[in-house]
Amino acid sequence: MNTVTVDDHAAHHVSFVRRYLFSLDHKVIAKQYMLLSAAMAIIGGGSSYLIRWQLAWPETSIPGWGPIGPDNYNALITMHGTIMVFFVAMPLLLGAFGNFLIPLMVGAEDMAFPRLNATSFWTLFVASCVLVSSFFVPQGPAAAGWTSYAPLSDKAVYTGVTWGQDLWILAVALEFASFMMGGINFLVTALNLRTRGMRLMRLPLLVWMEMTAAVVFLLSVGPLVAGAVMLLLDRAAGTSFFQPDRGGDPLLWEHLFWFFGHPEVYVVALPGFGIMLEILPVFARKPIFGYRTIVYSTIAAGLLSFIVWAHHMFVSGMDPRLASPFSVTTIMISVPFAIIMFAMIATLWRGSISLASPMLFALGGIATFLIGGVTGIFLGSAATDIYLHGTYFVVAHFHYTLFPVVFFGGFAGLYFWFPKMFGRMMNETLGQIHFWISFFAFNGIFVPLFLVGIGGSPRRIYELSSYDMLKPLQPLHVVATVAGIALLLAQIPLIVNAFYSMVRGPIAGRNPWHANTLEWTVDSPPSHPNFTVPPRVYRDPYEYSIPGAAEDWMAQDAVAEADLRAAGR
């Protein structure tokens, strides 16, 4: 059997290109994913600025940009959604944190397939380039919504967009390929490369979440790949899959999209929860409450996610007999998530809570996700959804679920693992400022939008002043936009903090947070190889404040005196 000895790594010298550009090291690749998601977030966030300005002060010239018309607006909302879900959320939560942490947390040297790992990143990079290039082609980028419903997306004449829509399909297809590769890598690594003693039920919950997300993604993406092929053929080869006048069925697209689309949001959400679940015990100095329950709930949520998709289609014209079953399954899926939320709160109960930046973001994520989850119940029940579908209520709901896991969860992770990734601590004051302004700004955007939605305002409409009944709601849009600008500005402390601390922050030791999981047993940043000796795991990941122990934490690979004696050594 081929074994790679540790010395080989130390011996050979790699060029700049191999070391930083086409690196096979999972830690470098993770940072590449992070950088890519940050770059795409600027575009995604920028587009949200334009959207919000247009809604608050319609038909004005947007500072720093100019006026936008209805077609531009549709393109903006399409690209905002597509970029945020596929090119910010997934690269950050799966690509960056998954890649960096899974090998370290399971005690492995690297991912199971390092070259596949690099390929998956560069595929995503190409996909990002394809998507960004669509801004510059004639007739502009895709404008049929991130959901790209047929027949709007099916014939160029309906949106006026030609190249842009095709490039969108290509970019999304490449993104799928990238995460298929990444997902397989995660699964095989977590299942096959666990170090001695790292039983499945000793895995940190983040690894469980990433694994479940990988399985859910792999099994749900197929139908949309098929759909994307069909859509592209409709546009480019004259087929008629989604054209009703030629024997096709536009509703098929919706089914295909949402069969993937719904599990996809859990693919994004679960790793975000995983990050919060790693942080809570550390900053409450308490074991996780209900580890096994959380694992089983995660698996249940993953399975259920495949049978709820048509709740996005209650008013689509689909067979009404499907409404009740899908309402039932959708209400059911709130149960495992509620269980996870309760477990998180129980973890905090009577803990020694320290409100450092990572913890603030984790708590902020939990609080805001609760609102998102609860408002989902109104949308999951077909009766209320008939009124709320396509309104700003939906927009507020999904921002109250996605934002908590991606923004609050993602930044919680950044503040938490920054010392491990870069060897230096971030500035705590700037972190607090970043959190508090962001938290209030975020709520300031989307609470008004719930009210706008309940007031009956449809979404995806560039300018609402022609609807008399919506005029009283306009001040809410202004509040939301002001809050939105505040949110964007609140990211400045983060950017300053991150880049400054990377080079001038105080040196972090191996384990500045006194946490138990294996990544905290190696250097900050981890040297090459990760582990000079493969670690041996003896305990569960969340043994904090164990009575009788010398410290209030116990690393997973720590052997207690009592255990040694019991083993007769």
Partner 1 sequence: MSAGVEPAGVAITERDTIGKIPPGKIAVWWFLASEIMVFGTLMGAYILFSFAHGDFAADGAHVKWRLGAFNTLVLVTSSLTMIMALASARARNLSRTRLFLLATVLLGITFLCVKGYEYTTEIDEGFTPSTSIFWSFYFGMTGLHGLHVIGGIVINSILLVAALSRKPWDILERRIECAGLYWHFVDVVWIFLFPLLYLT
Partner 2 sequence: MNEAGGHLESARDDRTLYVIVWAILVLLLVVGLTIFVLPIPREAAVTLIFGVAAIKAALVLRNYMHLKREHLLIYAIVLIPTLFLLGFAITLIPDIVFRHAM
Work out whether 223 is an interface residue with partner 2 (CB under 8 A). Answer: yes
Omega of the bond leading into 263 within 30 degrees of 0 (cis) = no
Q: Is the peptide bond before 151 cis (omega within 30 degrees of 0)?
A: yes
Name the residue nearer to partner 2 (CB basis): 131 or 310: 310
Nearer to partner 1, 17 or 550 (CB): 17
Amino acid letter, 198:
M
Q: Which stretch binds partner 2 (CB under 8 A): 49-57, 241-249, 441-449, 496-504?
A: 241-249
- The answer to whether 545 and 556 have CB atoms below 8 angstroms apart is no
* Residue located via tokens 């689909």: 318
- Residue 479 binds which entry of partner 2, partner 1, none, CB below 5-8 Å type-dependent: none
The single residue among 292, 321, 350, 504 that binds partner 2, judged by CB under 8 A, is 321
| Residues engaged in binding partner 1 (CB under 8 A) | 1-4, 6, 8-9, 24, 108-110, 112-116, 180, 183-185, 187-189, 191-199, 218-223, 225-227, 229-230, 233-234, 237-241, 246-249, 252, 256, 529, 531, 534
| 468, interface contact from partner 1, partner 2, none, CB < 5-8 Å by kind | none
Q: Sort 209 into a burial class: Cβ within 10 Å, 0-12 / 13-18 / 19+.
A: buried
Using CB under 8 A as the binding rule, whether residue 225 contacts partner 2 is answered as: no
CB of 302 to partner 2, least distance (A): 11
295, interface contact from partner 2, partner 1, none, CB < 5-8 Å by kind: none
Cα 342 → chain centroid: 21
Closer to partner 2 at the Cβ: 189 or 401? 189
Kindly state the smallest distance separating residue 95's Cβ from partner 2, in Å. Answer: 23
Rounded to whole angstroms, the Cα distance separating 98 from 295 reads: 17
Residue 30 CB, nearest approach to partner 1 (Å): 16
Residue type, position 305, single letter = S
Q: Which does 173 bind (CB under 5 to 8 A by kind): partner 2, partner 1, none?
A: none
Q: Which is nearer to partner 2, 241 or 513 (CB)?
A: 241
**Cβ-contact 137, 452 below 8 angstroms:** no
Cα 184–Cα 187–Cα 192 angle in degrees, nearest 5 = 120
From the list partner 2, partner 1, none, pick the one residue 322 interacts with, judged by a Cβ distance below 5 to 8 Å according to partner type: partner 2
State which residue, 289 or 309, has the beta carbon closest to partner 1: 309
With 0-12 CB in 10 A as exposed, 13-18 as middle and 19+ as buried, what is 268?
A: buried
Q: Which stretch binds partner 2 (CB under 8 A): 30-38, 60-68, 249-257, 357-365?
A: 249-257
496: tokens are 């300053």
The count of residues interacting with partner 2 (CB under 8 A) is 17
Tokens of 314: 């209650």
User: 255 with 313: CB under 8 angstroms?
Assistant: yes
Q: Which residue bears the tokens 């949200």?
A: 48
